[in-house]
Amino acid sequence: MTQSFISSKPIPANERLIMALDLPSIEQAQKLVEELGDSVVFYKVGMELFMCGDYFGFIEWLKQRNKKVFVDLKFFDVPATVGRAIAALSQKGVDLATIHGNDAIMEAAAANKGDLKVLAVTALTSLDRGDLDDLGFQCDVRELVLSRAKRALAIGCDGIVSSGLEVSMLREQLDNKLLVITPGVRPVDNREDDDQKRVVTVEAAFQNGADYIVVGRPIRDAANSKAMAETMQAQIAAQFS
């Protein structure tokens, strides 16, 4: 039997599902949030919504409805700029935010995060070995993820974003110290036409050690989005019962 690394962090089971609001307008995002109702507590707002209008007004709208917010903008710039951006974001009531880049960038973010939890991106779930070759990374995906996770922990980041395929390795190497947020999660095995290449099911993500999962299209594109969210919440609850 494969070893289980199920999370022991005191996170309510219904908050472990983060819904990705990858939609072309604030209005559509609000409509989906209202449709999902109490089936989802935590939302990811990323670059697509950032370009669509009143991004921070929408965050406030979510907070007024007692939702948790994950800002996924993957801040990447000179360290001083990232530090100031994270300091400003920490005043917005946001719960999680992503950064990208080297040690100096992570250090600047960690020094300015306040109560905001900062997550370092390891390797995007849309990348595989061939993509890393194209980008000039002469290492295995797992080696890259582990290296970035170790550096993030040492520097003072709160967690990382990692494919569920690498999470068990991270738990073996780093124990339970970092928060691990796993995107690219599907309710069933991956379809051939999915552009996410390194994905896992809900059960596999949590058995491998994820603290949170990020789900977008399987809920957004379902015939009944709330029913799909409730199904996935039931799958999560079964892992922590």
Point out the residues that are catalytic. 74
Q: Assess contact for 200 and 163: CB atoms under 8 A.
A: yes
DSSP output for 56-95: HHHHHHHHHTT-EEEEEEEE-S-HHHHHHHHHHHTTTT-S
What 3-state class would DSSP assign to 121? strand
Element (H, E) at 46: strand 42-46
Q: For residues 68 and 63, give the distance between their C-alpha atoms in angstroms, rounded to a whole number.
A: 7
Q: For residues 159 and 177, give the distance between their C-alpha atoms in angstroms, rounded to a whole number.
A: 8
- Only one residue has tokens 């061939």, namely 130
DSSP state of 65: T
Report the candidate in 147, 180, 131, 146 with the shortest Cα–Cα distance to residue 5. Answer: 180
Bridge partners (DSSP) listed for residue 214: 18
Q: For residues 153 and 47, give the distance between their C-alpha atoms in angstroms, rounded to a whole number.
A: 26
